[in-house]
Amino acid sequence: HLTKRLTAVANFVPQGARLADIGSDHAMVPINLVASGKIDYAVAGEVITGPFSRAQAAVTDAGLATQIQVRLADGLAAIQAGDQIDTVVIAGMGGILIRDILARGWRTLKTVKRLVLEPNVQEDVVRTWLAQQQFTIVAESILREDNHTYEIIVAEPSDQPVNYTTQQIKFGPHLMQAQSPVFQAKWQHQLLTNQRILANLAQAQNVPQAKIAALETENQQIMEVLHG
């Protein structure tokens, strides 16, 4: 049984995919997808021995050790050429870590058809890197679970240069288009938080002008996206 967040991630894995789940921890995503018959081969990568052992135990308990290879490796080094991986999931980490894992493994990515990424924070860093590497964002999703808002970014290699505006990088090209209630609530909340900070700064002394300007700029961007 997957959480709402991991269900949304798993839903973006195509039927019959050969999956690598990097930073798999409990290996819930590969186990679920293989057990349900949606896919029949996966690699679960973990860099830390604790989660690696947890993943191995879970895969063995599920009786799926022939279909799911659990490997102790840093990032995309868990993937071997013979795996013929076409789909990579990286979920539940910060955007900078996800970007760094992708950047260090760019050779492995040459044959990959789809990335399903769920950065907990710094989604913009991930979108920027994807565009630079000529991956186009084909879908996005935003959801609320346990008092946190999660964004899922699905990307595929493009044969043309990929360009996103500052706005699309920050808010997500598909998310800002769809304007779901969760998206609106996320940015309304950010707007109110920034306004509260600005009100406090107005009372304080020696506040750097750049700090105020940055908050005002962000508020402007949010208002444009929410009301544009």
**Least CB distance from residue 165 to ligand SAM, whole Å?**
29
Q: Given the rule CB under 6 A, which residues bind ligand SAM?
A: 6, 22-25, 45-48, 51, 74-75, 91-93, 97, 101
Nearer to ligand SAM, 108 or 136 (CB): 108
Nearer to ligand SAM, 24 or 168 (CB): 24
Nearer to ligand SAM, 22 or 130 (CB): 22
**Least CB distance from residue 104 to ligand SAM, whole Å?**
8
Cβ–Cβ < 8 Å for 119, 92: no
Nearer to ligand SAM, 17 or 22 (CB): 22
Cβ–Cβ < 8 Å for 117, 138: no
Nearer to ligand SAM, 75 or 172 (CB): 75
**Least CB distance from residue 97 to ligand SAM, whole Å?**
6
Q: Residue 10 corresponds to which tokens in the numbers above?
A: 């798993």
**Least CB distance from residue 38 to ligand SAM, whole Å?**
17
How many whole angstroms from its chain centre is CA 41? 22
Nearer to ligand SAM, 120 or 167 (CB): 120
**Least CB distance from residue 195 to ligand SAM, whole Å?**
32
**Least CB distance from residue 120 to ligand SAM, whole Å?**
8
